[in-house]
Amino acid sequence: MAELRDLVKRKFGASVLDTHADFGDQTVVIAREGVIEVMRWLKEDPAMGFDFMMDLTAVDYLGKKPRDLRFEVVYHLYSLKHNHRIRVKAPVGEDDASLDSIVSLWKAADWFEREVWDLYGIVFKGHPNLKRILLYEEFVGHPLRKDYNIRQRQPLIGPEN
């Protein structure tokens, strides 16, 4: 079988920005506009069969990449049937930090997307319940952003009367 990343590139040429297999990890970097289409194919195509979304996280490249590529949302998928895995990355800009939700494909994405929104401020469009999951509602900002001021005071909350 051809390399997974090559199959994705052949199928979605225009949406694929880069591929590599550094350290043996097959990785595909896709344009954020193609996330739903690519992820649906990876899950539903019998030859791919990625039935398990293992992880979804983000990386902040503040100062290392231009503003339109500041963040990367990273998905780790695994196929139980075929025993193969792939990493899918989607760059997200600072000015429009948003991406389509994949909760409709993998229910497990629900909490992962909420965590990324809570800590990085990346909005997942179409998410059924995008609200804070680790921090309290009154918390200001997103603490895993590299420009988050760790010395800023947060609103104090107390017991409801």
Nearest to 79 by CA among 107, 54, 111: 54
Instruction: Specify the pTM.
Output: 0.92
Are the CB atoms for 32 and 39 separated by under 8 Å? no
Other beta carbons within 10 angstroms of residue 33's beta carbon come to: 12
Nearest to 36 by CA among 93, 109, 94, 121: 109
What residue segments make up the domains of the chain, in order of their start? 4-125
pLDDT over 90, % of the chain: 86
Q: Give the pLDDT confidence of 101-145 residue by residue, as tens digits.
A: 999 999 999 999 999 999 999 999 999 999 999 999 999 999 999
* Calpha distance 154→141 (Å, rounded): 9
Structure tokens at 75: 């998905």
Residue 99 sits at φ, ψ, to 5 deg, of: -160, 155
Q: Give the pLDDT confidence of 64-83 residue by residue, as tens digits.
A: 999 999 999 999 999 999 99
More confident residue, 1 or 6: 6
For 1-17, what is the mean pLDDT? 90
pLDDT at residue 2 greater than cutoff 80:
no
- The band of 90, judged by pLDDT with boundaries at 50, 70 and 90, is very high
At 24 the pLDDT is 84
Structure tokens at 6: 């090559």
Q: Give the pLDDT confidence of 39-56 residue by residue, as tens digits.
A: 999 999 999 999 999 999
Q: What angle is formed at CA 14 by the lines to CA 12 and CA 19, rounded to 5 degrees?
A: 70
pLDDT at residue 95 greater than cutoff 70:
yes
At 161 the pLDDT is 56
Q: Yes or no: is domain 4-125 CATH 3.30.460.80? A: yes
pLDDT at residue 88 greater than cutoff 80:
yes
- The band of 32, judged by pLDDT with boundaries at 50, 70 and 90, is very high
More confident residue, 1 or 104: 104
